[in-house]
């Protein structure tokens, strides 16, 4: 039996019965954090990952996509440069292959850091697919076909999510791309149709447009970015159109066909269009297939997610799940916080639930979105009496060159308490600004307290503390 762990926490484990104190399935941000923290307590921990450590964020999501955002923004910067007197400014020719090589090298470096940190913490990293045999046993299968069974007293499922292609549309399985494919395209298409209206769709629309691709976004709804504040949705759509991105709503492909002229897309209104490639950014789903959850009597919910309680526990008190596989708030920082709460709950006798209220979020569209707290629709739904303070203005940079782009900012303030319930920004560096605004909203600061904060001039962010007039 083990005694006192580092950190002073006591934990009893019968290692004659189990191979591991904790076995983590998936080495994404959440799984890695949980494994490291548990190992630092002196527990015997292993992680199974069939891909490289790093997960969606590092390998197929926010990190490589942010690098693509950076690359795509230079064309606009050159445009502005000419307005500031750089007469010979030129963007030149974008080398997609060179970018891919540099990007992939950086992702490899980051993945190696993840692996090194796990090993340093004492975690056993196993390159294998893990599936349940029963409540305490897992079947590990390597890519070479090798198979073995291990046992664990506690098991954490942290396999994340995965993009999917709709099955109802003929030709999609053969010709449709997902977000995973976008980082290693053999070459950049001249034209791209993006199906979807969520954050992945609008981010890739901005990226590919900035890299010189003719982009058309097809969305079956009336407005892009369902779930965001309506004013944000409208403002971003107008800004994207201003940049030359075509947004066509209430349209959905019903068939894809590869022709000599390109990909022929048949739409639900009876028309067709052509594009070199078609990206489906219409959603992701929890990656529960292949876990053999039936073996332990766990049935995914209607969205394919692993059901858990507020402590991330499944119906088995020793089996937990965190991150996108639970479909609660599918964000990397949330998965990391869930991992921390899991370790507190499972190994420190300190049941801890993550607070999902007022999570700041950034969308790296062009321009960026930053949002935290309630949308106006949510305030109405909750029956709150509120005031709105909002502004649209040309930032100094674009105003100098007579640009038409506008920044949008909106505060939603409860009338009775004066607490700022929601902040919504569309404009340059919105992702950076919303992090600090998120602190204020989380702390439930009042509009009066925001107003009492001295402005930083000249910045766009100063508008957040100088808004005086309520929207009529």
- Give CA–CA dist 192/215, Å, rounded: 5
**Sheet arrangement for strand 246-249:** 176-177, 277-280, 191-195, 214-219, 246-249
78: which residues sit within 8 A by CB, 6+ positions away? 89, 90, 91
Q: Are 39 and 45 in contact (CB under 8 A)?
A: yes
**Could you tell me the two tokens for 352?**
């801890």
Angle 121-122-128 from CA coordinates, rounded to 5°: 110
Q: Could you tell me which of 345, 155, 170 has the C-alpha nearest to residue 253?
A: 170
Helix/strand/coil percent split, the chain, to 5? 35, 25, 40
Per DSSP bridges, beta strands 137-141 and 420-426 are unpaired
Q: How far apart are CA 84 and CA 396, in angstroms?
A: 12
| C-alpha–C-alpha distance, residues 226 and 444, integer Å | 26
Report d(CA 26, CA 32) in Å as an integer. 8
- Contact predicate 202/177, CB 8 Å: no
CB 185 within 8 A of CB 299: no
Q: How far apart are CA 441 and CA 419, in angstroms?
A: 8
Count of residues in the chain: 472
Residues identified as active-site: 457
Euclidean distance between CA atoms 283 and 174, whole angstroms: 18
């Amino acid at each position: 039996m083990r005694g006192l762990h580092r950190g002073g926490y006591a934990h009893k484990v019968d290692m004659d019965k189990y191979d591991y104190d904790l076995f983590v399935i998936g080495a994404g941000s959440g799984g890695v954090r949980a494994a490291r923290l548990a190992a630092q307590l002196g527990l015997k921990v292993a992680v199974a990952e069939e891909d490289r450590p790093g997960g969606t964020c590092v390998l197929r999501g926010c990190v490589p996509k942010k690098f693509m955002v950076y690359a795509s923004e230079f064309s606009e910067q050159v445009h502005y440069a000419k307005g500031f007197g750089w007469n010979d400014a030129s963007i030149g020719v974008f080398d997609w292959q060179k970018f891919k090589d540099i990007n992939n090298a950086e992702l490899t470096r980051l993945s190696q850091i993840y692996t090194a940190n796990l090993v340093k913490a004492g975690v056993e990293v196993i390159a294998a697919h893990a599936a349940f045999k029963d409540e305490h046993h897992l079947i590990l299968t390597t890519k070479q076909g090798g198979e073995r069974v291990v046992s664990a007293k506690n098991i954490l499922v942290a396999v994340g999510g995965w993009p999917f292609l709709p099955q109802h549309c003929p030709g999609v399985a053969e010709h449709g791309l997902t977000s995973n494919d976008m980082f290693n395209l053999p070459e950049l298409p001249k034209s791209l149709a993006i199906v979807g209206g969520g954050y992945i769709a609008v981010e890739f629309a901005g990226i590919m447009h900035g890299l010189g691709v003719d982009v058309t976004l097809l969305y079956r709804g009336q407005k892009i970015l369902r779930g965001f504040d309506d004013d944000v949705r409208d403002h971003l759509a107008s800004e994207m159109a201003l940049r030359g991105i075509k947004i066509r709503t209430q349209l959905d492909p019903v068939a894809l066909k590869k022709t000599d002229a390109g990909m022929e897309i048949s739409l639900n209104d009876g028309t067709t269009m052509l594009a070199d490639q078609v990206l489906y950014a219409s959603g992701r789903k929890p990656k529960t297939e292949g876990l053999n959850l039936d073996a332990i009597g766990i049935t995914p919910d209607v969205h394919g997610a692993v059901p858990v309680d507020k402590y991330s526990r499944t119906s088995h008190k020793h089996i937990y799940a965190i991150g996108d596989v639970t479909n609660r708030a599918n964000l990397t920082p949330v998965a990391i916080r869930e991992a921390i709460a899991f370790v507190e709950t499972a190994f420190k006798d300190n049941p801890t639930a993550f607070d999902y209220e007022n999570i700041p979020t950034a969308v790296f569209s062009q321009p960026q979105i930053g949002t935290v707290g309630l949308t106006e629709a949510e305030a109405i739904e909750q029956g709150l009496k509120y005031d709105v303070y909002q502004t649209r203005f040309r930032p100094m940079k674009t105003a100098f060159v007579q640009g038409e782009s506008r920044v949008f900012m909106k505060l939603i303030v409860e009338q009775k308490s004066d607490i700022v319930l929601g902040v919504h920004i569309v404009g340059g560096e919105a992702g950076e600004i919303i992090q600090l605004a998120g602190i204020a909203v989380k702390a439930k600061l009042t509009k009066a307290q925001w107003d009492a904060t001295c402005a930083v001039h000249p910045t766009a962010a100063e508008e957040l503390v100088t808004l005086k007039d309520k929207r009529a």
